Chains A and B, each alone.
Chain A
Amino acid sequence: DTAVSQTPKYLVTQMGNDKSIKCEQNLGHDTMYWYKQDSKKFLKIMFSYNNKELIINETVPNRFSPKSPDKAHLNLHINSLELGDSAVYFCASSQSDSPLHFGNGTRLTVT
């Protein structure tokens, strides 16, 4: 059973389009995250939700909007995509100070 699953795995789109990435975890964790990994493999936190409440919102363009319909799901919607948004986006979940469990990422390519 996949613990943290993301869809789609690959996303290729043109500049200006709007796209969404979905994430689900079946671990019963209270906290979910979105991380962005750039071409140099650097992982940077974007957002964090705890029990559907936004608790971390790093300096991210407001074109990025997370939504958590329940504590098992955290989606990421991106408006007006730009070339610089191309990256791998990882969803993760955790419980308190326990280790984060990551999904396998969504590779977004904006052309």
Chain B
Amino acid sequence: EDQVTQSPEALRLQEGESSSLNCSYTVSGLRGLFWYRQDPGKGPEFLFTLYSAGEEKEKERLKATLTKKESFLHITAPKPEDSATYLCAVFWQAGTALIFGKGTTLSVSS
């Protein structure tokens, strides 16, 4: 069973059309949930860390939220430059590594 599940796998939006990406997790004792952005041919780039349910973080057109079972990455009025793969990862136990979901590939057309 996947410990981190992201949906949808792919999302196509028109410029300005807001939407949300979902990341659900099954690990217990979450120590941190991370959102990354990955552009083609590049390594994942850190966006946000969320540590506890109810926490929210914002950066430009992106807003990440966290509940006890899932996180959402809300994209408000996206632009073509927001096109990328968005990865969610959880850190649940000391001495372990980040466990990643399979990502959501976002395409924003003008």
Contact = CB atoms under 8 A, between A and B. Distances in A.
Contacts of A103: 43
B100 A105 contact: no
B76 to A, nearest CB: 23
B85 A99 contact: no
A37 B87 CA distance: 12
Contacts of A55: 95
Interface residues of A, number: 22
Give the interface size bracket for B toward A: 20 to 34
Interface of A: 4, 33, 35, 40-45, 48, 55-56, 90, 92, 97, 99-105
Interface of B: 31-32, 34, 38, 41-46, 49, 85, 87, 89, 91, 95-100, 102-103, 105
Q: In the A-B complex, list the 8 residue pairs whose CB atoms are closest, starting with the nearest.
A: A102-B43, A45-B97, A43-B100, A99-B46, A104-B43, A102-B44, A42-B102, A41-B103
